[in-house]
Amino acid sequence: MCSLWLASTALVLWGGPLAGGVSVQPHPLDPLTREELAAAVEILAASGRTNAGSRLALIALREPAKQDVLGFVPGLPVRREAFVVVYERAANRTFEAAIDLGGRQVRSWTEIPGVQPAILTEEYALTGDIVRHDARWQAAMRRRGISDLTNVYVDPWPAGEALSPEERTRRIVKAVAYYKASSHNAYARPIEGVIAVVDLTAKRVIRLLDSGVVPLETTPRELDEASLAPQREPPQSLEIVQPHGPSFTIAGSLVRWQKWQFRFGMHPREGLVLYTVAYEDRGRLRPILYRASLSELFVQYTDPSPAWAFRNAFDEGEIDLGRWATRLEPGTDVPTNAVFVSAVIADDKGVPYEIPNALALYERDGGLLWKHVDYPRVNESRRARELVLTWVGNQGNYEYGFNWIFRQDGTLTVEAVLTGIVLPKGVATAGPGRSIALVAPHLAAVPHQHWFNFRLDVDVDGPKNRVVEVDTVPAPGTSGSGFSVKETPLGHEASARRQINPLSSRRWRVINPAARTELGQPAGYALVPGDNVRAYASPDSIVGQRAGFIQAHVWVTAYDPAEMYAAGAYVNQASRTRGLATWVQANRSIDNRDIVLWYTLGVTHIPRPEDWPVMPVHRASFTLEPDGFFGQNPALDVPKPH
């Protein structure tokens, strides 16, 4: 059983009843508890399939079949299973296991040949140990006047695609180095041009790239308040007070707020996952999303030099973003009225550990909700409230926040929040133009793109949906002064690879042909893009093939529970994608079917000096808004504040 413990606005996922003896009804989509994670490890070991040298690259809930979840009756027994990815380093082999936790047995055990799981947590320290003992690397450091090797931070990067055929059969990382000394900011002084290619299976450096000595930046840049002194005069205090507590309720993994209802969990790869998102409409709970999450995060740097060309990281598929959820702090990361949820995740050996305050929920002012003035007597308006579910993942130099923002009018906005340290490059002098931005005397920042892909398993009033592309177009016969709305149904996967078009106000309506409003229209929700960019990696390039999902902003596929990640299940060292670009070649029908909507959100970052030593937050978002789902404004019943 999974439940929550309430103490000083902190909620901790654990197994057992609520404080005070009140039990929480278990649900098939509740995340694995600490006890269940431990049981999965025990069952595997007892079966003889794992040993002390095995590494459990991922342990997560093996979600039940969709039809079983939708047909679940509270009070009936819940079958709980774990999905485990096992890596055997000595043999360099990867296996997948499905474990029946109640029956305490391994239901399936399958080797997945030719793949590498994401970089393990222990491999960060392992890479550093291997590199520091290599004589060639030590000599490269001495050429740069560095003898205190313990003060060099070694950062393993996914190897990417530039590997020889023999190297592809090994587990490889490419190690980048920074001179940290006594600084807490390891990224302020890159040791430019030195890349160690590390075989983690044989535990040795197999190649060393040294493209020449570049002057080392001499100025460390700390980010604590004392180092950044003097500080400006602080603004007057701004307090958010809810003396009667929050307006939302949490029971197990279930949240209810202002007619919204949804479940949530933390996944070690995806991070936050939302389930069964629905809205109450006149006493009827109407489904909108069955499952929603970030399916991939890809970063591409533009520098073609040998020390940089491989830096095209899949921060989810290659590094397991959810494992790196950070502890959220009240008053800075989130407002002081936030309620926190701690996540329980298993480490490389399967030992459960807690990430305190990994998630937060809070209410905030949403501005004006609606208003109308009709002189002399009518002046009606309402103030909006929003519910934010948030988390932040660390990926080395960058931090990525994700806000799921629920509004009283049935709108759901998904926001990516980018901050942290732009990846620095050591330079002798500044280059011309803006191809690279000088941020310190011997330090520059390389332009790059961030690509987020969100998997949205839409169930608008039920699982059988249709997607209609909506554009505004010039209307004929209006002397060029009018326009009309054009709707184009998307019938098959191959034709549903779509690009944004802000000039035509393009959006995509997901409708249920069988569900009609009182106006006789099919119930619908629209995906409305925010700011977005084009991809510069050509489809036939290696990068373009590994990250094929960036070639379109919108994809629609027929529902398949095995198709979870936009770049495929195993991205690390993969030469080609097995994700969206491959799946849509089947060209399955997506008309009046159970479908999945995938949205690709891009950010092109041209660094500025103002982004150093830590960049101000950049936000990018998209929105799901009701479009024919209701017969009128659903926020008319929001009362005036008392």
Q: How far apart are CA 237 and CA 185, in angstroms?
A: 30
Q: Which two tokens stand for residue 564?
A: 């979870």
Residue 353 sits in the same domain as residue 412: yes
Mean pLDDT by 10 residues, the chain (642 residues): 31 34 74 97 98 97 97 91 97 97 97 96 97 98 95 94 79 96 88 96 96 88 86 90 95 97 98 98 96 98 92 96 97 97 97 98 97 91 97 97 98 98 87 68 93 98 98 82 93 98 98 94 97 94 92 98 97 87 97 98 96 96 98 96 81
Is 333 tagged catalytic? no
Statement to judge: residues 98 and 201 lie in one domain:
no
Let me know: does 280 contact 262? Beta carbons within 8 Å.
no
The answer to whether residues 294 and 185 belong to one domain is no
98 CB-near residues (< 8 Å, 6+ apart):
62, 81, 82, 83, 84, 106, 107, 108
Is residue 215 in some structural domain? no
Question: Which pLDDT does position 641 carry in this prediction?
Answer: 85
The tokens describing 225, both together, are 């308040």
Strand partners, 316: none
Asked if 611 is an active-site residue, the reply is no
Residue 339: inside a domain: yes
Q: What CATH number corresponds to the domain at position 336?
A: 2.70.98.20
180 and 31 fall within a common domain: no
CATH number at residue 183: 3.10.450.40
Number of domains in the chain: 3
Confirm whether 246 is domain-assigned: no
Beta bridge partners of 229: none
- Judge whether 394 lies within some domain: yes
Of the residues 210, 229, 245, the one at which a domain ends: 210
Q: Are residues 364 and 496 in the same domain?
A: yes
The catalytically annotated residue of 398, 565, 570, 599 is: 398
Asked if residue 332 and residue 196 are part of one domain, the reply reads no
**Same domain, yes or no: 448 and 575:** yes
**222 within some domain:** no
pLDDT of residue 475: 86
Catalytic residue among 281, 315, 457, 459: 315
* Structural domain boundaries, residue 482: 273-626
pLDDT score of 425 = 94
Return the SS3 of 518: coil
**Partner residues linked to 453 by β-bridges:** 296, 600
Alpha-carbon distances, residue 313 vs 161, 222, 331, 414, 607 (angstroms): 11, 26, 32, 22, 18
